[in-house]
A and B are shown apart, each in its own frame.
Chain A
Amino acid sequence: KQEVTQIPAALSVPEGENLVLNCSFTDSAIYNLQWFRQDPGKGLTSLLLIQSSQREQTSGRLNASLDKSSGRSTLYIAASQPGDSATYLCAVRHGDYGGSQGNLIFGKGTKLSVKP
């Protein structure tokens, strides 16, 4: 059974710092991996989607990497800002096999606080 783990559960950094959020998964047979942001009381907003054949994706100050063989992904946030404060979740999707039809399996998230 696929398990997704995110460490640390919470992180507090001063504004301007570069930081890395970690995501690990137990089964490397994934179709893609998606990083989300969730603000308090809100839904999930997709940040980056990495297909299994890709090594990384970039969007603005965000860079996500994927190492399937080791079961790891990182989300790098450059020059952090107070507005980056939120919970960040990663989720893996398996291929369309069996009955799962490629459902996402989520980690429990890292709560990030960026202090001015």
Chain B
Amino acid sequence: NAGVTQTPKFQVLKTGQSMTLQCAQDMNHEYMSWYRQDPGMGLRLIHYSVGAGITDQGEVPNGYNVSRSTTEDFPLRLLSAAPSQTSVYFCASRERNGVSVNTGELFFGEGSRLTVL
């Protein structure tokens, strides 16, 4: 059981380039989300999705696009990379609504480390 898989693990971009960070989960989770983690800022939500075809903005959505065509995949697109987008990006997923005691747990990928020069 792979859980949440993110690719690539490391990426270096030049300012203005575009790229897509991939996220896939094999747990049939409806809810998926993208966070960025920066020193002194903690984890901040970029975008999230509660199911295929449904996405919404989080706290820091500017400069990023997402789509959710399948339950399994939730790619994050950087349209025109800027140095301020240098960060570690995490994808996370969970069941949408947990009704039993131990559901609702959020599972994270290993992260994608992005540097924008």
Residues on B with beta carbons closer than 8 Å to the beta carbon of A106: 35, 42-43
Q: Is A44 an interface residue (CB 8 A)?
A: yes
* Chain B residue total in the interface (Cβ 8 A): 26
Q: A111–B116 Cα gap in the complex (Å)?
A: 27
Contact status A103-B104, CB under 8 Å: no
- Asked if A46 CB lies within 8 Å of chain B CBs, one says yes
Least CB distance from A3 to B in Å reads 11
**Are B58's CB and A46's CB within 8 A?**
no
B50 contacts A32, CB within 8 Å? no
Neighbouring A residues of B35 by C-beta, 8 Å: 106
Contact of A101 among B43, B48, B101, B110 (CB under 8 A): B48
Listed in ascending order, the chain A residues whose CB lies under 8 Å from chain B are 31-32, 34, 36, 41-46, 49, 51, 54, 89, 91, 93, 96, 99, 101-104, 106-109
- Contact surface of B with A, Cβ cutoff 8 Å: 31, 33, 35, 40-43, 45, 48, 50, 56, 58, 90, 92, 96-97, 101-102, 104-111
In angstroms, Cα B43 to Cα A36, docked, is 12
Q: Collect the chain B residues with CB atoms within 8 Å of residue A45's CB.
A: 108
Q: Which residue of A lies closest to B54 (CB)?
A: A101
Q: Is there an interface contact between A108 and B106, defined as CB atoms closer than 8 Å?
A: no
Q: Are B108 and A43 in contact (CB under 8 A)?
A: yes
> Closest residue to B102 on the A side, CB-wise?
A49
B111–A43 touching, CB < 8 Å: yes
Contacts of B92 in A (CB 8 A): 44, 104
Residues of the B chain whose Cβ atoms lie less than 8 Å from the Cβ of A103: 33, 45, 48, 58
User: Are A108 and B40 closer than 8 Å at their CB atoms?
Assistant: yes
Min Cβ gap A1→B in Å is: 10
- B106:A34 contact, CB within 8 angstroms: yes
Residues of B within 8 A of A102 (CB): 31, 97, 104
| Chain A nearest CB, measured from B115 CB (Å) | 14
Whether the Cβ atoms of B50 and A101 lie closer than 8 Å is yes
A49, closest chain B residue (CB): B105
Cβ contact of B56, chosen from A32, A49, A93, A101, cutoff 8 A = A101
Specify the chain B residue showing the minimal Cβ separation from A45: B108
Across-interface contacts of B42 in A (CB, < 8 A): 89, 106-109
CA of A54 to CA of B98, assembled, Å: 14
